[in-house]
Every structure is written in structure tokens, then in C-alpha cells.
Structure 1
């Protein structure tokens, strides 16, 4: 037994309230130098609040935060916090209109006097080289890939002197190759003494990357344990409660049968220059079809075309036998296509509007006539969505920014279902949500299909695809394979990575 190791970051009995809501209740966390420590829990468990305390965005009502055994700086001491901790968020804080060099040394471009641009670029190049980040310091940050922006953020954090980095859902927008490269970088930095707190809803990542894991549930600390001593069932039980763990049935579906009639969705020779070409398939009423592909496969662009967000170069889209006008979101909605976009924050909802307004904004005809909307009808639809999708919200009038990420995604799903669509087009419908929310969202898709809708799920998350009747594989803009129900993970991943082509 050696001497006790002083934690690089520690929270002792922290409690935080927002009005009557208890966001953290006497929570403790201890992260030792050089480890990658996972922080997991369902949406609303308290992870984001704990991160805000560890990064100085807000203060605790009680309890203390320490770094290397010393009390955290005052909230107003931003430089003090930057020297101790940094956070790489799922949504980048890089300023896209500035160069990489300017982002790395934002507000400290010059050590003294006027800015020396050659000197700034030289300092940036030295910093990037020291952490093996292969990016041109003169490049515009907006032209970087997601993983490049993340590593620039990490390098910026380390340049302040911080050796503790919080990574919040860093893989949410990465394909398999990007995730593997990110993990290699994290391990290399870990060997150089950098410590990570890693937040993810993808439990397999916890086992691949982390040494210890802390679970929060209902604003309380549940367990901290070495990852290799906590199997998946035990981890799920800790996150959801033992009684809920038994319902962890992602990918299982109810009995469904295809309905008669024209295809719910039909695509013929669809091409979008630079993204995909000559794509043809159909989805029957009552059928769920998956489209698996990496970020560069063209799958997302295909789904956005079906929803009217992009105008194809050529080809035809039909919904329930009716041709859909290309490049028109209103026409796609009118044709009966319900849509869940890839990025709920950017295109999925209006954060300042209420839960009810977001859930019903695509169905004004169900709310009234001649432009007069009935508040009673809106409330009825919103309350129905709350019940069927188990949306946790203080009120249907609560602005959507006040809901957790998982509940925001449920509202986006509610909006897609509100028009009683003949076809659903869903991009990563469970991205960034916890296990129970995944079950709810996938069950909603299954219920819509059982009622006669066709559903197309575009995702690189295998759990999203397990309940599909079949899965189409896209690689480099082409449909390359079709996997029947009961497919093997290895076969699907091989197709997504381009090592197998069955067409």
C-alpha cells in the first residue's frame, strides 16, 4: 500500500438547487491524476450540474470543490479556473470565423504590445506540435472536422496549464474512425499526465477507455468503482435502479406486420451531387428500415433530402404513392413525412418556445382554422405527448431550454409524430440520450410502425438499428449492402467501414 494520492479534482458533499429543484444532493466525486474517469447517469441525473461546479460556471449551495487538495478559485477568477480545468463540450466552443491560431490564443494573442501575427502562428504551431495535433494554425476553424476542433480545444485548454479535462459526449458527432482516433489521443495524453473526466451515454466507450466510473441517479451519487469490477448489467442497474434494469430491452420490438397499399416511402434513382448517387429503395407501411453509414457515407444527406431540407440533383421521392416536391420542407410535411433531424439544437427545436409550441408547430391545421389556433387543442396535443413519450417537464408552457437533452429529443419526436405521418425519417433518433429515454423513443417508433407508418432510421448507432426489419448499408455515397433482421454486428460494421460490399 502506497501513500494516498491527492485527487486532481474533487467534489465533497456538493448540493445545488435551482428554485425548488434539487439538481445535486450531497454528491461527492474524486478523480485521481492520470486516470480517465467516467461520469454516467440518465438525463437529469445531475451530470451537467456537477460539471458546471467542477468548471466554475456556477457555485455550490453547500459542499466544496478542490483541485490538488486546495480549494477551487473564486467563481470570478476565470484565469484561475482555466489553469486547473477545461471542458470540451459536445457542441464546440471554437469560433469558426477565426483561424486555428486565433482560437488557441483567444484574448491572449500578444504577450506584450501589438499582435505579432507571425509570432502568433509560430506559437500556435509549437503548441499543436507538442500535443501531436495535425492542424494548420493558419486554417480557418470553420473548415476543421469535428474531431480536429475537439483536439484544438484540448490543446487550448492545456496551454493554460490545466491538466484536468472534462469531455462531455465527445463522440456524439464522430464516426467509428473518428472515435478510434480520439481514443488514441486521449490515451497518449493520459500517458503524459493529463487526467480526464469522460461523460458518455455509450456504455461500451466506458469499458474501452476509462479506468473508474461514477454513477449519478436522481441527483445523488450511487457508486464509484473500477470499470473492470462493474459489468454492464450492474452499471445499467446503478443508472436506472434495479427494478428498471430488467426493462433494458433496446432493439426488441412488438409484433408488427406490413400493411397493404403503396409504399410509405419510395426513392428512385435519387442523386445529390457530392453526397450520394443513384439511391433506390422503398419502405412498406408498417416496416422499419435502417440506413447505416459513417459520417461521410451520404446517409444523413439522403435523409435530409427526403425531409425536403436538400434539393436532389435528380431522382424521385414518393410518400404513400404521392410524389414529393424536391427541396421543400412544407411539401414533405404535407405529403405525410415526419422528421427528426440530426442536430436537435441547430434544427430540431426553438429553445425559447414552450414545450407545447415546439411539439405542435408543424400541425397548425390540427389546432384551428383560418389562422386561429386553439390553446385548448394545443394543450391537449402537448399533454398527450407528455403521457405517451414520458416527457419530464414542469409544465407544457416551460421553454424547451429548461428541459434535459433527453426530454428535448422526446419533444422533437413528438413533433414528428404529431401529424400522424405515413412515413417517419429519423436521423440518430436516440443520440445523446440515456438508456430509458432510448427505450421510450424506440418504442414510439415501433408503435408508429404498428399503426401503419413506415419508418426510416438513419444511424451509425447499432442499438438504433436492432429493431429494424432490415438495414441498408451506405458507403461513399452508395447503397452497398442490405442486412436482414438478425444481422451480426461485425457484418454491419464491416459494411459501414467499406470492407464489405454485397451489392
Structure 2
């Protein structure tokens, strides 16, 4: 039922909203991306926008930031109509978006990224580099961002890049910042620092529209939440007044019983006599991890938990051939693949879903069929030649198995929603029928339904005898596991079997019990 609850969208009649959208409709051919939708974000608040993939969130952000013109409806900022689309400077002075995929240019310095097309010039019309760096330092100091203005942006951490992007937005005069999945690639400590900075900026009059698939973050940070479903607005309410199960019900359109623990629980497990499909012995990589020994059995789902700095991601990438360990051995299905060799890992039976689907998982301009079959060229035709019919037939099979929403395998993968893109990455990992499936943060940046589907697929693969390793700090991902191995500062420090509590696992992940 639309507009099931309203409220929390403005402190008073005297203070107009930082942004207000009313009756917004946007069509792309026969597809209705937004259907008379709206939102009202009060000045100085942190307002969450949630919904499943395809709900209309991205389209609304494109309209609120002046990238797309609505077919119908009105947009206003602080009670005044939105600028003309062509007046980019006016838009930059009102609103800016920090996207999940960073927009900083890696080959330019921090200073250059802060003032694109706005560099100070000397009398000859050339860039005044000294003045540029001075302005950049002043801007970062003003907003409390720790970064070297001379450093290349590509050398920054994900967290630093986000802070630089926020500072760049503020430098243009915008006091409304849209944060699109800002925590998708941050560990718990970095998320805490980001949230602290958001609260500080909010006290200084900055307004945030916060988009996230992690509902706990909404409760930890936001004042108000708006839900979109099927291109429509269905709910706006103070966060404190919406129980989590009601929020999920609003997003999915289904009644959900109030949860008592994890969103998922493992329904089965490997046979007692299942053989190991992965054996890791005294594995080490300088400055990343050391002395790791563990196994994953056929049909077993093992979690590798820890903060991003714990080494869990590097271990998973080592198992997949993206990195080469300095010492130790890896045995997959009875074979020892050559270290740091992705084809060798594939040949040994490893399937892999990387940490970042945008940078590592997809070739955006290639089709779904091409992306889903990159790991199995030998199955697509003789002597390395690709038979398009065989490729498309296999792609259609994977599209069906992964429930990818697409008109066909020939669609560029860039045209899919985030959840469906992640399914394509999973399809490619499963195309070579792996004996070991390695997943890094497999549900990052996807909606609730896609998250449940992807985790269900991991469970289905395990039931067929494949060993699964999930490297994640998401408790919902780890709740699926038969065992969870916890890493802290490059070492294995704890192991949990089914029945662990959130508090126990988080305590171990944060190293609270470790004398360090």
C-alpha cells in the first residue's frame, strides 16, 4: 500500500526542505523508472533512501543531481525551483553525489581532483600550481580531511577518496550530499570514522541523503528513512519508529516476521567423511598474513572473517591466483596450482567472485554472454574459436540458473542493476563447475532480495559437493557458514562453529581478546 506512513520530512514550516521532489515520473521507452514518486529531505538531517534494485533510487538521484530531466514532477532546493539542466555550476552549488564507484581521477593529484576545471591561473593563463596546492590544503583543513595534496589520488585508500570527494563537493558550495553505498568497500573501523565525520558535518549544516542496502547502518546513522518499491514511494518515517522487519516488508512488499537472530541460517552441512577440496598449509605473504593453515571440505561453507586490514581479502585473492604467497602451499582438489596464476587456479577448479565487481569483476561494455563465459573459452568452440551460438546457449543457461533479469544475453552488462551485475559475476565463477568457490563480500552493494538469492546459490552449490569460502565482514554472509575462521592482523585468531553470537564474532574480528 503506497505511502503507508509519512513523517520526519522537515523540522518546521519555516525551514523549507533542503530538497523536495513531488510527483516525479521518468520513463525509458516502455519502462517506468519512477512513477509519481517523491521525497522531502529536511535541512541538516541524514535521510536514508532504501529499496531493492530497480526500485528507482538511482533514477531519483540522477534527477536530484541534474543529470536527468523528469518527464513529470517538480524539484526544489530550499523552497526554490531547481536550476535549468544546462546550468551545471548552479547544480554544483546545490547538490553533489559521492558514488559507490569513485569518481576521482587516479592519475591526478589530490589537489587537481579537488578543483577540476577550477584551477587558479597566473597572468599567462597557466595553472598556478602553488596557489592550487594552497587552496587544496585550506579546503582539506577546513573540513578535517587528512590527505597529502601532492599525492596521486590513485594512492589513496577508499576511505580517503570518499573524504576527498566530499570535500570537493563542499568546495563548490553544495550543502546537500548524496552518499551512494559509501560503506560497500569499507571495514568496520573505516565505517565508524565515516559516520563520525558525517555527524560532524551535519552539525555544521550539511544535509545528507544516504543510500545503503545495509539496514543496520540506517538505524545507526539516519534520522529519517524513505522506501521506494517498484518505482514508487511507499514509506517515509522517522527511523526510530520503524522496526527492521517492517522496513524489510516495505522494501519487498511481503510481510516479514520479526527476526530473532541472523537473516539466514545454514540448513545442512557437509557429510562427516567429506574430503578436503582446499588445504592451506603455513601460508604467508609479507605484510599481509602469516602462518595460515586450514581446510575446506567438499560441501562445506567456511567463512573467513575480519576487517579489511585483517588480511582476509588478500588470502582469498591468493587462493584465486591474483596474488602469490611468499611461503606455504595451497592444494585444490588434489592439485597445487602455480602461485599467482589465475589460469592455473581455474584449471585446478577454483571459481572466484572478487571484492569489487566494477574494477575486478566485469567488463562493462561487453555483453552478459561475454562476461559470463570468460572463464570457459574451451567450451565455446574448437581451437580457441568462439561459436556465438554455443556462447549464447551457455549464457542463457546461466541467466536462468542465476535469475538474471535481462531481455537476453546480448545486453551490455553495464545496463543491469547492481544486483544483476553481481549475479553475472557469480555466473562466471560457476561456469567452470568449480570444486572450490571463493567469494569476497559477495553481497556488497546489492538489495535484500538479491542478497538472499546469492547466499542461497552458495548454499545450493555446497549441497552439490563444492567447497565454499566466503571472505566477508558481513554477519549475514557469515551466518550461512558451517565454520567461521577469524583473522586479525594477518593471523588466524579464532574459529567458530554454528551457534555463534554476533557479539562473539565481532569481538574476535575487532581483536578485543587478542593481546596486541
Structure 2 match to 1:238: 250
Shift of the alpha carbon at 1:378?
A: 2.9
Structure 1 match to 2:165: 153
C-alpha contact (below 8 Å) 1:253/1:443 kept by paired residues: no
Shift of the alpha carbon at 1:261?
A: 5.6
- Pair 1:450-2:460 in alignment: no
Judged with a 3 Å threshold, the aligned counterparts in structure 2 of structure 1 residues 260 and 145 are, in CA distance, closer, same or farther, namely same
Distance in 2 separating the partners of 1:364 and 1:158: 48
Structure 2 match to 1:479: 492
Distance in 1 separating the partners of 2:255 and 2:402: 20
Distance in 1 separating the partners of 2:346 and 2:111: 44
**Which residue, out of 346, 351, 369, partners 2:382?**
369
Structure 2 match to 1:64: 74
Structure 2 match to 1:408: 421
Distance in 2 separating the partners of 1:47 and 1:205: 17
Structure 2 match to 1:490: 503
C-alpha contact (below 8 Å) 1:308/1:328 kept by paired residues: yes
User: What do the CA deviations read for 1:348-397 (whole angstroms, capped 9, x no partner)?
Assistant: 12112221221122122333333344444433332232222221112121
- Pair 1:144-2:156 in alignment: yes
Structure 2 match to 1:73: 83
Aligned pairs, number = 503
Q: SS of the residue aligned with 1:338?
A: strand
**Which residue, out of 10, 14, 18, partners 1:8?**
18
C-alpha contact (below 8 Å) 2:262/2:479 kept by paired residues: no
Worse-superposed segment, 480-489 or 232-241: 480-489
Distance in 2 separating the partners of 1:434 and 1:413: 15
C-alpha contact (below 8 Å) 2:44/2:205 kept by paired residues: yes
Distance in 2 separating the partners of 1:194 and 1:219: 28
C-alpha contact (below 8 Å) 1:250/1:438 kept by paired residues: no
Judged with a 3 Å threshold, the aligned counterparts in structure 2 of structure 1 residues 2 and 396 are, in CA distance, closer, same or farther, namely closer
C-alpha contact (below 8 Å) 2:375/2:432 kept by paired residues: yes
Shift of the alpha carbon at 1:430?
A: 0.7
Structure 2 match to 1:320: 333
Structure 2 match to 1:301: 314
C-alpha contact (below 8 Å) 2:121/2:128 kept by paired residues: no
Q: SS of the residue aligned with 1:421?
A: coil
Distance in 2 separating the partners of 1:418 and 1:78: 45
Judged with a 3 Å threshold, the aligned counterparts in structure 2 of structure 1 residues 432 and 242 are, in CA distance, closer, same or farther, namely same
**Which residue, out of 193, 202, 207, partners 2:219?**
207
Q: SS of the residue aligned with 2:410?
A: coil
Structure 2 match to 1:115: 127
User: What do the CA deviations read for 1:459-501 (whole angstroms, capped 9, x no partner)?
Assistant: 0111110010111111111111111111111221122222224
C-alpha contact (below 8 Å) 1:353/1:400 kept by paired residues: yes
User: What do the CA deviations read for 1:79-120 (whole angstroms, capped 9, x no partner)?
Assistant: 010000011111211122222222222211116644333322
C-alpha contact (below 8 Å) 1:269/1:315 kept by paired residues: yes
Structure 2 match to 1:267: 280
Gap runs ≥5 in structure 2:
1-10
Structure 2 match to 1:127: 139
Distance in 1 separating the partners of 2:266 and 2:90: 52
Distance in 2 separating the partners of 1:283 and 1:232: 34
- Pair 1:351-2:361 in alignment: no
User: What do the CA deviations read for 1:130-168 (whole angstroms, capped 9, x no partner)?
Assistant: 212222323332222211211111111111111100000
Worse-superposed segment, 34-43 or 9-18: 9-18
Shift of the alpha carbon at 1:453?
A: 0.5
Distance in 2 separating the partners of 1:217 and 1:12: 16
Q: SS of the residue aligned with 2:216?
A: helix
C-alpha contact (below 8 Å) 1:259/1:284 kept by paired residues: no
Mapping 1:87-102, distance limit 5 Å: 87-102=97-112
Gap runs ≥5 in structure 1:
none
C-alpha contact (below 8 Å) 1:270/1:279 kept by paired residues: yes
TM-score by length of 2: 0.93
Shift of the alpha carbon at 1:287?
A: 0.4
Distance in 1 separating the partners of 2:144 and 2:51: 32
Judged with a 3 Å threshold, the aligned counterparts in structure 2 of structure 1 residues 136 and 349 are, in CA distance, closer, same or farther, namely closer
Distance in 1 separating the partners of 2:232 and 2:310: 41
Shift of the alpha carbon at 1:502?
A: 10
TM-score by length of 1: 0.96
C-alpha contact (below 8 Å) 1:262/1:320 kept by paired residues: no
Structure 1 match to 2:7: none
Worse-superposed segment, 78-87 or 346-355: 346-355
Worse-superposed segment, 89-98 or 292-301: 89-98
Distance in 2 separating the partners of 1:214 and 1:397: 35
Shift of the alpha carbon at 1:4?
A: 4.5
C-alpha contact (below 8 Å) 2:107/2:154 kept by paired residues: yes
Distance in 1 separating the partners of 2:515 and 2:349: 32
Q: SS of the residue aligned with 1:296?
A: helix
Worse-superposed segment, 460-469 or 138-147: 138-147
- Pair 1:39-2:52 in alignment: no
Distance in 1 separating the partners of 2:133 and 2:12: 45
Worse-superposed segment, 39-48 or 349-358: 349-358
RMSD over equivalenced CA pairs, Å: 2.0
